[in-house]
Structure 1
Amino acid sequence: MNQIIETILQRKSVRHYGAGEIPKEDLETIMRAGMAAPSGMNKQPWAFVAVRDRQQLDMLGDALPYAKMLLQATAAVIVCGDLRTLSNEEAKLWVQDTSAATENILLAAEALGYGAVWTAVYPEADRMKPVVEILGLPERVIPLNAIAVGQPLEDRDRPKNKWKPEKIHYDRW
C-alpha cells in the first residue's frame, strides 16, 4: 500500500504517553507539515505555539477539561488562527484553514512515530480564555485546538476502522 495512504489509515487519537522528549527538529517538521495545508485565498491564517515546557503543559492540562493527556505528553502544538492582518471577508475561512493544518500535523506526528490527539479549544470561551492567558496570545489570535504529542504507550491507542460504505453516494444522493 502507498505509504501516505498507510499513514492516513493508521492515524489514531493517542491519549496515553510514555517518557521521551520530542526533539525540536521533529516538532518543526510536524509544524512544517501543518503549514503545507491548503488555504483559502492562500491567506495561511495559522500560527502555532509549540509547547515543551513541563509547567506550561501542566497548566494547559489542568485548564482544559478534555486535554488531561497534556499532563503526560511531552509536547503540544496549539493551533491558532491569526486574524490580525485579515479582512473580515478573508477571516471567515480561518477555521477551515487551521483545521486542514491540524490534520497535516496529526498525520506528520503519526508518520514520525509519535502519538497525537486533537483537543478542541475554539469556540468555547471557557477553554479559549486560559489558553490565551497561559500562552500570552495577542488579540485576534484565536486558539483552535491543543494537540498533545508524545511517545505513545505501546498498544494503548489503536486506529479505528471508520469505513462505512453506506455514507458514500455516487453521482447523486
Structure 2
Amino acid sequence: MEDAGFFAPTGNNLPSKNLIVVQNRDNLDKLAETTPYMKWLKEAPAAIVISGIPEASKYWLQDSSIAAAFVWLKAVKVGLGSAFGAVYH
C-alpha cells in the first residue's frame, strides 16, 4: 500500500516525504488525539502517516498531498476502507 505513496509524483522529483506504517495500537490511539477530527483512528487497525520534508523541496505539501491521494486510490482499489486526517504544524 505504501508503494502507491512512495511512487507518487513529486515536484522536481525530490524525496520530500516520508511514509510510515503504524500498526501499534498505542501509537494509533496517540495519533487519534492529535486533532479532534481523527477520533476514528481509535478503531483503525493501521494507518499510513505521510510527513513532508520542507528542507527537501518547496513542494513538500503538494507532494505529501498527492501521495495521500495515491494511497487512498490504492486502498479503494483493493477493497479497503480509507479516511484522511491532516495535522499541519
Say whether the fold is shared (TM-score over 0.5): yes
Divergent runs of 4+, >4 A: none
Structure 1 equivalent of residue 47 of structure 2: 76
Question: 1:37-76 alignment to 2 at 5 Å?
Answer: 37-76=8-47
Where 1:116 maps in the other structure, the secondary structure is coil
Letter in 2 for 1:53: N
State percent identity of aligned pairs.
36
Structure 2 equivalent of residue 108 of structure 1: 74
Aligned Cα RMSD in Å?
1.3
Higher RCO, Cα 8 Å, sep 6+: 2
Letter in 2 for 1:73: A
Higher strand share: 1
Using the TM superposition, give the Cα deviation of residue 46 of structure 1 relative to its aligned residue in structure 2, in angstroms: 1.1
Bigger radius of gyration among the two: 1
Q: Deviations over 1:22-41 (max 9, x none)?
A: xxxxxxxx110111211111
Gaps of 5+ in 2: none
Structure 1 equivalent of residue 60 of structure 2: 94
Question: 1:21-36 alignment to 2 at 5 Å?
Answer: 30-36=1-7
- How many residue pairs get aligned? The number is 89
Using the size of structure 2 for normalisation, the TM-score is 0.91
Distance in 1 between residues matched to 2:45 and 2:70, nearest whole Å: 20
Letter in 1 for 2:84: W
Structure 2 equivalent of residue 120 of structure 1: 86
Distance in 1 between residues matched to 2:21 and 2:66, nearest whole Å: 18
